[in-house]
Every structure is written in C-alpha cells, then in structure tokens.
C-alpha cells in the first residue's frame, strides 16, 4: 500500500498488486498484469493502460499515481515486446507482436473480474461500465485499434476492425501518425502496422503530443503525432506540450534516467488533463474538463495548450 500526495487534497491511500497472471498458452508467455486502485471509494472507473515499446506493467507511475488518487482503477498488462521478457526479433512471434498486443488488451478487458479480484474487496467497488483505454507511443497504436483505428494492408485497404464498444473513452499519448511516404525506409520495411487508417476511430478520445517530438521513424516533423487528431472522428481534443519530446516530459517514470526532456510541469499537465477528460467523458464529473481548460488558460506560464474541433 502507498500514499499518493495530490496537490490541494489530503494524501490518498492506494494499493497495487503485481503480477496478476492470466493464462495464455497460445501466446507463449502467460500475461502478467498490475492492478492499482484507491483504497476507498465506490463506483470506481477503470483505465486499461498500454505501455510503449520495451516497457512493462511497472512503468508510468507518475500517471498511475495521479489516476488512482483521483478514483480510477488502473490495469496494466506487460506485452511481449517488454524488455523484462527478452523476446528478440528472431522470435517467430515478433512480427505479430502488434496484433498480440491488441489481443492482450482484449484478454484484460474480458477478464477484468479476475484481475480486480486480486485486490481484496475491490470488485464490489468498481463500475466496469465506466471503462477507458489509454496508451503511450506503441501503446497508443494498440489502444487506437480498440477505439476504431485500423491498419492498412499491402493493398491499401483497411484490415481487421478491432473496435471494442465496451471502451467509452480513450487517451492517446504520443501516438504515431500516417504510414507510406511519411515513414522512413527502415520503418516501412520493418513495421507494417505503422500504416493506420484513422477514419473509423469514433470513440471520444484525447490526443497528447509534444511539439519537439521528432521521430526517427518518420520523414515528417513532430506534427506527425497529431494525425490521429486531424483524421479521426472521435479524437476531437488535442493537448500540445511545449518543448516536449517523446516521453512527454517523463511520464514513464519518476526521474527516469532515459528522459531526454524532463519537465515535471508537462507531466503534471498530462496527468491533470487526462484525468479531467476521462472524468467528464465517463460521466463522473461533467464540469471537470471545462475546469481544466479554464485553469490552463489562466496559468501564468502554461506547459501547453488545449484545442478542440
């Protein structure tokens, strides 16, 4: 059990259990999951979170701590690309990891009751109908498919539709943009899944990007990470972080040594904006998002800006 300090409110007790293991024999590795929740509260909403390349269920504590302190249950699977598992490009599963990631997210949602039961007394305090999905980088691509995005095949046609109507809202953090000529030759040759079609993404979603996030996989500038906002029906709200690179100020860990753009103010904005957006979209606090917009507009030195269409 831990105590999370949240500015302006008393410390909030939270609990985190890991690993909770879901059998997955066809996957080659059982699926390991972390479940984090506030110790008190009822009708708690759920966020299923997808980590970026190489991450795991133990990443993103700056966000997880904020979400749980504000009444969310956070469920984090560890995907096969995690550095903790050591799956290499020589593994026959490797070319399909992008699909297996989506399968893993579906398995987590299907087995939410089992996962929640790992925390004594938690199932009775959760409202699983208030379900959101969030992801960073490759995790954003994975989550995006459950929100309605599809992957274009070699013939240029959209592939399988993996939309999950159980998910009522999404948060897409530094999510990669269009494929084709917008990819470097290396990306085109090695990452077939990086050819998204965002036209079917209709689930209400928040997009967050850093205006200094220059990807080595794209021939374009940082605006590549805004494609999902520009081209989908559901992602109608955009948070721009000033000066942020791919870690968005360091959302993946407290004082992580690999953060190239460490900025606690940017991380705090991601946490506050995503929380407020989900509180409003899930019917928890209809005024939370409007209050966040007002607060950011009034900030003397804002870490970013919010726009909608």
Q: Residue 226's domain spans which residues?
A: 16-308
Give the pLDDT confidence score for residue 160 in this predicted structure: 95
- Alpha-carbon span 88 to 81, nearest angstrom: 8
Report pLDDT for 10: 57
Give domain status of residue 9, yes or no.
no
pLDDT (tens digit per residue) in 271-290? 999 999 999 999 999 999 99
Number of domains in the chain: 1
Is residue 39 in some structural domain?
A: yes
> What's the pLDDT tens digit per position in 198-232?
999 999 999 999 999 999 999 999 999 999 999 99
Q: Output the pLDDT for position 1.
A: 56
Position 105 in a domain = yes
CA nearest neighbour of 161 among 202, 129, 192, 131: 202
Global model pTM greater than 0.85: yes
Query: Within a domain: residue 8?
Result: no
- For residue 5, tell me if it sits in a domain: no
Residues of the chain with pLDDT under 50: 5-8
Which residues, at least 6 apart from 294, have a Cβ–Cβ distance to it below 8 Å? none
pLDDT at 12: 87
Residue 3: the pLDDT is 55
Where residue 199 falls (left for φ over 0; alpha for ψ -120 to 50; beta otherwise) is alpha
- What gap in Å lies between CA 159 and CA 174, rounded to an integer? 23
233 token code pair = 């029906």
Give 123's contacts (C-beta < 8 A, 6+ positions apart).
113, 116, 117
Question: What's the CATH code of the domain at 209?
Answer: 3.40.50.1820
């Amino acid at each position: 059990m831990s105590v999370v300090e949240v500015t302006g409110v008393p410390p909030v007790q939270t609990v985190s259990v890991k690993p909770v293991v879901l059998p997955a024999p066809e996957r080659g590795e059982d699926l390991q999951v972390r479940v984090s929740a506030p110790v008190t509260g009822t009708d708690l909403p759920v966020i299923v979170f997808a980590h970026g390349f190489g991450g795991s269920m133990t990443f993103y504590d700056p966000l997880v701590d904020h979400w749980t302190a504000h009444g969310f249950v956070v469920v984090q699977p560890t995907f096969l690309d995690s550095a903790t598992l050591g799956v290499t490009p020589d593994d026959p599963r490797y070319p399909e990891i992008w699909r297996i990631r989506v399968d893993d997210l579906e398995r987590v949602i299907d087995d939410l009751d089992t996962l929640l039961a790992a925390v004594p007394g938690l199932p009775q305090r959760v409202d699983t109908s208030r379900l959101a999905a969030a992801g960073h980088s490759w995790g954003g691509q994975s989550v995006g498919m459950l929100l309605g995005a599809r992957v274009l095949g070699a013939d240029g046609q959209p592939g399988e539709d993996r939309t999950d109507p159980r998910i009522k809202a999404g948060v897409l953090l530094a999510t990669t943009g269009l494929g084709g000529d917008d990819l470097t030759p290396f990306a085109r040759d090695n990452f077939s899944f990086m050819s998204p079609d965002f036209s079917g993404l209709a689930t209400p979603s928040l997009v967050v990007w850093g205006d200094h996030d220059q990807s080595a996989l794209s021939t374009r500038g940082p605006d590549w990470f805004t494609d999902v906002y520009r081209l989908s029906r559901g992602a109608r709200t955009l948070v721009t972080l000033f000066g942020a690179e791919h870690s968005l100020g360091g959302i993946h860990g407290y004082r992580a040594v690999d953060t190239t753009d460490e900025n606690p103010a940017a991380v705090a904005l991601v946490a506050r904006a995503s929380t407020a957006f989900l509180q409003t979209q899930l019917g928890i606090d209809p005024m939370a998002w409007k209050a966040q917009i007002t607060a950011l507009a009034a900030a003397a030195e804002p870490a970013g800006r919010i726009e909608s269409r």
